[in-house]
């Protein structure tokens, strides 16, 4: 893998056409990029899943990237039993698989549990170990493969900064790029795994970073707002039946951010599903988020800006999300 040993790298600061950007990015999906492991697919997913967690200069730190990377692989390798490397005679594993299996031993985990069931200190431990090992293998390699048009990085300072032109390009074509990444990743996994573990493989890849337990956010939102009504229909919420809804659908945003979560009645949540709410609700959530911009929620609201949320809403539309959902209100 060319470039893997680079300590840092700078993206080319010049105008690049959409054709050039596309051609640079698509190297990841073609045979020109030699794939002995699935690292590049996984790292690209970790970047894309973090797309809206960038700071104002489009930087992500390695902790953000490798905690996501670790979560994705924990679920794929341990929960679904998917190998990530072509079989060798001595049945060698990737460094990442070795780290994951060592962690399972260290914490004496006997069953394949999902990542979200681990304790926060365990998550930090795993993410740290993966970061130390994998930053050496993958960050420089993807930088070189994408012809210095994707990002700048610094391994010592542990950050990656996305080229603004590439950032806009990916946001505009996010759903397609994601699908292509999953498709090639799935092909790779089907090649190196037995058939019994590769059923529903695209779902397994897509949902490898999905968490079902949003109770932390439910509690924050419940405690913060006294009115305790459904964000959409305004009905009083029943304390034991409150749903946490991703305002911009999870399937687009691929992350749980406090600024994108609202409390909803089950009916609205289940009826809304994957749709974008009516534009009136966008104004309402921007207003709602003002209330959350207080010290105690600083970590959860880090990198939030109203204009960012409005842009993501627009990008979801560009990516084909149907807009205009609103609850059917009885007169």
Tell me the DSSP string of 235-264. Answer: PBPPTTS-EEEESS-HHHH-S--GGGEEEE
CA dihedral 214, 219, 224, 229 (to 10 degrees): 80
Confirm if 243 and 261 have CB atoms less than 8 A apart: no
Least distance CB 164 / Zn ion (angstroms): 39
Q: What are phi and psi of 44, to 5 degrees?
A: -60, -40
Least distance CB 272 / Zn ion (angstroms): 9
Give whichever of 84 and 264 is closer to Zn ion, judged by the CB atom.
264
Give whichever of 233 and 279 is closer to Zn ion, judged by the CB atom.
233
Report the run of H or E that residue 60 belongs to, with start and end: strand 59-61
Least distance CB 326 / Zn ion (angstroms): 10
The closest alpha carbon to 60, from 278, 294, 302, 328, belongs to 302
Confirm if 192 and 85 have CB atoms less than 8 A apart: yes
Least distance CB 246 / Zn ion (angstroms): 15
Give whichever of 175 and 233 is closer to Zn ion, judged by the CB atom.
233
Least distance CB 264 / Zn ion (angstroms): 5
Least distance CB 269 / Zn ion (angstroms): 8
Total residue count of the chain as it appears in this document: 331
> In b/e form, how buried is each residue of 60-78, taking b as 16+ CB within 10 angstroms?
bbbebbbbbbbbbbbbbbb
Residue where the block lists tokens 């949320």:
309
Residue where the block lists tokens 């979200």:
116
Give whichever of 62 and 232 is closer to Zn ion, judged by the CB atom.
232
Least distance CB 263 / Zn ion (angstroms): 9
Give whichever of 78 and 230 is closer to Zn ion, judged by the CB atom.
230
Contacts with Zn ion, residue ranges (CB under 5 A): 230, 232-233, 265, 268
Report the run of H or E that residue 139 belongs to, with start and end: helix 120-145
Written as six digits, the tokens of 246 are 């991703």
Confirm if 247 and 260 have CB atoms less than 8 A apart: yes
Q: What are phi and psi of 64, to 5 degrees?
A: -60, -45
Give whichever of 166 and 230 is closer to Zn ion, judged by the CB atom.
230
Least distance CB 220 / Zn ion (angstroms): 19
Report the run of H or E that residue 71 belongs to, with start and end: helix 62-73
Give whichever of 153 and 232 is closer to Zn ion, judged by the CB atom.
232
Least distance CB 115 / Zn ion (angstroms): 31
Give whichever of 124 and 233 is closer to Zn ion, judged by the CB atom.
233
Report the run of H or E that residue 183 belongs to, with start and end: helix 174-192
Confirm if 321 and 276 have CB atoms less than 8 A apart: yes
Give whichever of 27 and 233 is closer to Zn ion, judged by the CB atom.
233
């Amino acid at each position: 893998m060319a470039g893997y040993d680079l300590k840092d790298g700078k993206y080319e600061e010049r105008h690049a056409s959409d054709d050039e950007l596309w051609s640079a990015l698509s190297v990841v999906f073609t045979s020109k990029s030699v794939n002995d492991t699935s690292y590049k697919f996984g790292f690209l997913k970790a970047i894309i899943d973090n797309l809206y967690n960038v700071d104002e200069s489009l930087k992500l730190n390695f902790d953000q990237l490798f905690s996501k990377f670790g979560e994705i692989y924990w679920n794929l390798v341990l929960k679904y039993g998917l190998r990530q490397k072509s079989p060798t005679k001595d049945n060698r594993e990737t460094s990442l698989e070795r780290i994951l299996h060592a962690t399972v031993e260290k914490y004496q985990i006997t069953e394949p549990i999902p990542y979200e069931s681990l304790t926060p200190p365990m998550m930090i431990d795993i993410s740290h170990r993966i970061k130390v090992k994998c930053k050496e293998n993958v960050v420089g390699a993807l930088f070189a493969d994408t012809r210095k048009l994707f990002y700048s990085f610094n391994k010592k300072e542990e950050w990656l900064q996305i080229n603004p032109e590439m950032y806009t390009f990916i946001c505009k074509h996010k759903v397609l790029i994601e699908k292509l990444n999953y498709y090639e990743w799935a092909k790779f996994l089907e090649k190196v795994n037995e058939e019994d573990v590769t059923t529903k493989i695209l779902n397994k890849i897509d949902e490898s970073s999905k968490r079902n337990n949003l109770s932390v956010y439910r509690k924050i939102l419940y405690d913060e707002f006294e009115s305790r009504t459904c964000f959409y229909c305004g009905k009083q919420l029943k304390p034991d039946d409150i749903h946490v809804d991703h305002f911009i659908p999870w399937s687009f945003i691929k992350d749980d951010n406090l600024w994108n979560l609202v409390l909803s009645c089950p009916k609205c949540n289940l009826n809304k599903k994957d749709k974008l709410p009516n534009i009136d609700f966008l104004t309402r959530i921007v207003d709602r988020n003002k209330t959350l911009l207080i010290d105690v929620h600083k970590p959860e609201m880090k990198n939030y800006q109203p204009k960012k949320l409005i842009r993501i809403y627009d990008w979801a539309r560009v990516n084909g999300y149907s807009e205009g959902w609103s609850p059917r209100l009885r007169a």
